[in-house]
Each structure stands twice: as structure tokens, then as C-alpha cells.
Amino acid sequence: MSKKDDKGAEKSEGKKDKGKKGKGKANASAGPSIAAHPRASYQVRRAKGWGGIAGFALAAYFSYKAGVPTADLGLRALIAGIVGYMLAWMCAVTVWRHLVLAELRAAAEGAAGPDPDLIPARAPKSGNGAPEAS
């Protein structure tokens, strides 16, 4: 084999190794992720859409009522739509970050079982039927 053939083989192997990253796919070993949550990714996408539409519509309406020329009205509406999209995305991710962590805490507490010190009726009983004294 010539040197050119070796370089060509290395390039084709390198292209195969790189691979494309999947959109919305989260690495499970990286910890909790909003993108990997079954409901969160859908709700974030939905909030972004409604935020963009609301920003666009509100800016267009108020610009029209103020008598702004049509070209400026459209530009203002587009900019407000982008801002609404970004604000809705930021708020939705913040809310879902807290919800995912709360779900993880609830799952961890449920797996550990109830604390017998907090609930006297569930404390281990001694032979005489009364809870053990510490």
C-alpha cells in the first residue's frame, strides 16, 4: 500500500468514529437531565412555542395600536417573539429543574422507607407489645 492509501483509510475510519450526537438524547450516567425526562422535554418545547407566539402577538398588537408603520411593526413583533421564546425556555427549564430534583428526592425517600423515630406506631416492638425504649 502507498502512503496515500494509508491516509485515505485513516480518514475514512476517523469519519466513522466521530458520529453525530443525537438531538435530545441525554447520557444516563451524567445524572438527572431535563432532556431525558419523559414529560419535561415535551413541556419545555410547548412553553417555548407559546412564549414565542405570545411575544409576537403582543408586540404586533401594541405596535398596531400605537400607529407604528407596518415594516417596523413586523420587526418589533419578530424581536419580541424571539425574546418571548427565550424567556419561556428559561422559565420552563428552571421550573422543570426543580420538579425533576423533587421527584428524585421523593423517590429516594420512598425507597428508604419511613423513619420509625418519626412514627411511633411503626417503631419495632419488644416482646411485651410496647415500643422499645432507647
> What is the full DSSP assignment across 75-116?
HHHHHHHHHHHHHHHHHHHHHHHHHHHHHHHHHHHHHH---T
Q: Is residue 16 domain-resident?
A: no
Q: What is the pLDDT of residues 88-131, one digit of tens each?
A: 999 999 999 999 999 888 888 877 766 666 766 665 666 565 55
What is the CA angle 64-69-70, rounded to 5?
75
The whole-angstrom separation of Cα 124 and Cα 52 is 57
Q: What is the pLDDT of residues 73-89, one digit of tens each?
A: 999 999 999 999 999 99
Q: Which range marks the domain in which residue 48 is found?
A: 37-109
The 3-state DSSP class for residue 16 equals helix
Q: What is the pLDDT of residues 12-52, one digit of tens each?
A: 555 555 555 555 555 555 778 888 888 999 999 999 999 99
The total of structural domains in the chain comes to: 1
Q: Is residue 134 domain-resident?
A: no
Q: Is residue 28 domain-resident?
A: no
Threshold 0.75, pTM exceeds: no
For residues 26 and 33, is the Cβ–Cβ distance under 8 A?
Answer: yes
Q: Is residue 120 domain-resident?
A: no
Q: What is the pLDDT of residues 28-37, one digit of tens each?
A: 557 788 888 8
The helix or strand, by DSSP H or E, that contains position 11, with its residue range, turns out to be helix 3-18
Q: Is residue 71 domain-resident?
A: yes
- The pLDDT assigned to 50 comes to 97
Q: Is residue 104 domain-resident?
A: yes
Name the DSSP class of 21: P
Q: Is residue 9 domain-resident?
A: no
